[in-house]
Structure formats: C-alpha cells, structure tokens
A and B are shown apart, each in its own frame.
Chain A
C-alpha cells in the first residue's frame, strides 16, 4: 500500500474515537432531559453542570479529531 493511502485510512480510523464522544453526549443530554421532565423546577439550576459535562465529554471526541488532523497534516 502506498504511504499516502495508509495515511488517509489511518486518519479515517482515528476519528472512530468520536463514537465514544457521541454516545457520551447522548447519555448526558438524554439523562438531563429525563431529569428535567421529572422535576422541571430543578432543571434550570443544573444547566451549568450540563454544559460543563458536555465540554468535558466533547473533549474526548476532539482529541480523536486532532489526532486525525495530526496524521493528515503532521
């Protein structure tokens, strides 16, 4: 296989780390919605925590994204 082709395939495979981030974000927002529907009065107070959790979860996906960028352009 040509090195260039292997590089492209590797960059593609590296993005599979985003699967975890996607699942994580789904769990996060799903659970938040469940809790918010059960107890709407407490929902607003937890929004900051929701976005903090989103940021931390999303970072994992972005690490995969950056790794694939490094493979592509590094």
Chain B
C-alpha cells in the first residue's frame, strides 16, 4: 500500500524566509529585515490594489467591468456604511475606511483565489490575515486611531464616554469599569474575529483536500477499496462549495471590520449627539 501523506492542515500558515535580510540590534530589540512569505503576501496585496485602482481610476461615464467593481467596492463603504451610520460628517474618513476595507479584502482573497501558493518548493504567498500578528496590528491601528481622534476632537471631555448620562451616581462605580472593559476589549475582538474566520476556513479547506488525497490513494488499491473514491469525490465537491463560501467570507469579514470601525468612529464624530 502506498505511503499515506501526513494530514497537516497548519502547515500552510508557516512563515518561511524567501530572502535573507540584514539582522541588527536596535535599543536592545532584535530586528530581522528578511523578506518572508508573509511580507511578500502583503507587498503583493498592496501592489495588486494600487495597480487595480490605477487602472480603474480614470472614470468613464459608462464604466467597464473593472471600473464597475471598483465603484461597487467604494459604494459599500460610502453608501452602505459611512453615510447611513455617521452621516455627512463622516465623509473625511471615507478614504481611511476604504483603504482599510480594500487592504483586508485583498489580503483575505490572497489565500483563496490570488494565491500562487507553492512554486519551486517555496511558499510565496498565503492568507496573512490568518496570522494573529497581522490582524492584531491592524486592530490596534484601527482602534487607537479612533481613540486618539476622540481626544483630539473633544479633549478630556471624551472620557465621559465611559459614564453613561442619566445614571444614578452610585451606579457609576460599577458602570465605568464595565464600560471601560467593553471598550478596550474591542481591538481584541476585532483581531480574533478576522484571525479565527480566516484560519478556520483554510484549515477546513486543507482538511478536505487531504481527505481527497488520502482516500484516493486507498481507492487506487482496486477491488472493494475503490469504494473509497465515493467519499473522495464528495470531499472534492465540499472543497468547491467551501471555496465559494470562503470568497463570501473574505468579503464579509472585510465588510464587518469596516462596519465596526465605522460604528467606533461614529461615537467620536457624533459625540454627545446620539446618547
């Protein structure tokens, strides 16, 4: 019987060095400037985004297909999220939110459709949003830029966000810590949500992929064992279906991230109006 390939769904998330860069110590911190497949994926994502929007930025009255996609993406941020949630005062923040949306969307897609995967024994790109380090960085940027903006716009008065108005004074003793906790857990949930969704989806895809190979090898033995081709085929159908689902999840998670960022921004921009 042929040797069974090991089922190792986590292997696809390994970070590998593509190019050895300089390593140095600065302020007691070790820096490694190597280009890994994680960095390469992000460069590739950024390059794809810039190229796509350079090609579609020259507006035509009757848009071609690519321009229609670009406009649809923009409308998701503008007409579905910012205008209904924040209102006209949200317009200055659309470029930031749109950048965030496009970056997360394209990085999510890297693993599903845009991945060139493994060529010449080297993993070049993978879904970087399935690395907690990446999503945590994005979450910290998203959360603290809004938090700092609150202080820039409203000064110390912004701290009254943690004290709901119309609350009896003794209750504040309990409410303020709870409000603060639920406020500062936001970047954690942002990071976890994207990380968990992308990791989970790709682990499941990889598992079904290894079922196809493992059961296919069993089936090759012939005779009664060729019945194993049935579950192998079913697993392959599952892969096709789940890849479609992953495409939806890639867009949905980018949408959800920006929707939450918009809600957080709304608290700052419309501070004191909505409560």
A: residues with CB less than 8 A from B are: 45, 47-48, 51-52, 54-56, 58-59, 62-63, 65-66, 69, 73
Contact = CB atoms under 8 A, between A and B. Distances in A.
17 contacts: A47-B80, A48-B84, A48-B259, A51-B259, A52-B260, A56-B189, A58-B193, A59-B192, A62-B192, A62-B193, A62-B195, A62-B197, A62-B200, A65-B200, A66-B192, A69-B199, A73-B10
A56 B254 CA distance: 14
A65 B195 CA distance: 11
A47 B84 CA distance: 12
A25 to B, nearest CB: 13
Contact of A59 (B84, B193, B199, B255): B193
Contact of B189 (A45, A47, A59): A59
B42 interface: no
Nearest to B85: A48
A15 B112 CA distance: 25
Contacts, number: 40
A47 B85 CA distance: 12
Nearest to A64: B196
B256 A51 contact: yes
Interface in B240-265: 252, 255-256, 259-260, 263
A54 B256 contact: yes
B contact patch SS: helix
Contacts of B81: 48
Interface of B: 10, 80-81, 84-85, 189, 192-193, 195-197, 199-200, 252, 255-256, 259-260, 263
Contacts of A47: 80
B51 to A, nearest CB: 29
Nearest to A63: B192
Contacts of A58: 193, 197
A67 to B, nearest CB: 10
B200 A55 contact: no
